[in-house]
């Protein structure tokens, strides 16, 4: 018999497991290699590269955002009331910044159309500029 060979029946294939010969029989070891899990402590993504059970320190559920933390008691990602308030504040700040950006663009466009009206050479140019001005002011 060639080296590193055994006389035994081929093991039954099981999804998510790999068969390993113990010297006397086949044993099944969990195989999560290539799977993505997430640290319960930091929420960071981790790629599994070794055989065996998943560590207790990881979950297969991704962390929704930086405001969530892992609750062993609930066995899921949760958000504290303080984190909810922080998230809402961040959303409000982003919304205000977006509004200010849009208002700044509108103000620039309105000023440009007003200049076009003030310095128009023809009635047609004035009417065209007034249409643009009105549209931007409504916006």
pLDDT, residue 3, reads 83
Structural domain includes residue 57: yes
Domain around 56:
32-78
Domain for residue 25, yes or no? no
Q: Is residue 5 part of a domain?
A: no
Q: What is the pLDDT of residues 49-91, one digit of tens each?
A: 999 999 999 999 999 998 999 999 999 999 988 888 888 999 9
What stretches of 8-122 show up as alpha helix (H) in DSSP? 81-118
If asked whether residues 67 and 91 sit together in one domain, one would say: no
102-119 pLDDT, tens digit each: 999 999 999 999 999 999
Q: Residue 18, Cβ neighbours under 10 Å: how many? A: 14
In a domain, 40, yes or no: yes
Instruction: Flag whether 132 is in a domain.
Output: yes
pTM of the model: 0.60
Q: 106 and 131: one domain?
A: yes
Structural domain tally of the chain? 2
Q: Examine the domain organization and report whether 37 and 74 are in the same domain.
A: yes
Surface-to-core class of residue 70, CB atoms within 10 Å of its CB (0-12 exposed, 13-18 middle, 19+ buried): buried
Q: Residues 74, 87: one domain?
A: no
């Amino acid at each position: 018999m060639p080296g590193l060979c055994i006389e035994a029946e081929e093991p039954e294939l099981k999804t998510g497991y790999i068969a390993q010969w113990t010297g006397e029989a086949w044993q099944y070891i969990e195989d999560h290699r290539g799977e993505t899990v997430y640290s319960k402590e930091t929420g960071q993504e981790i790629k599994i590269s070794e055989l065996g059970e998943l560590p207790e320190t990881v979950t297969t559920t991704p962390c929704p955002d930086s405001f969530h933390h892992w609750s062993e008691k609930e066995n899921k990602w949760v958000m504290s009331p303080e984190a909810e308030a922080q998230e809402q504040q961040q959303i409000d700040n982003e919304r205000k910044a977006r509004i200010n950006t849009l208002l700044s663009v509108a103000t620039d466009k309105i000023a440009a159309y007003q200049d076009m009206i003030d310095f128009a050479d023809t009635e047609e140019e004035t009417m065209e500029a007034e249409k643009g001005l009105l549209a931007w002011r409504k916006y």
